[in-house]
Amino acid sequence: MAKKQCKVVVNESLCKGCNLCIEYCKHGALRSSSGLNKMGYHYAEPSEEAECIGCMMCTLVCPEVAIEVYGE
């Protein structure tokens, strides 16, 4: 069965850098940025190492509702 290709998008200006989404993404599709957003947080961003499979877990745990996931 072909793996589902999805795209995760983080609104970096809303992100508080709590890293919950990174901990809950069991696919390694999110990482902490090296840069800071306007509030001074290391925001979450898509990882280049792994692909998002669209499980939506990150959107469920994000307290700032900063994540959207798009399917193919």
Nearest to 12 by CA among 51, 48, 30, 38: 38
Q: How far is the CB of 63 from ligand SF4 (least distance, A)?
A: 6
d(CA 35, CA 21): 17
Question: Pattern of binders to ligand SF4 over 4-43, x per CB under 6 A?
Answer: --x-x-x----xxxxxxx--xx-x-xx------------x
d(CA 2, CA 69): 19
Q: Which residues bind ligand SF4 (CB under 6 A)?
A: 6, 8, 10, 15-21, 24-25, 27, 29-30, 43-44, 52-58, 61-62, 64, 66-67, 69
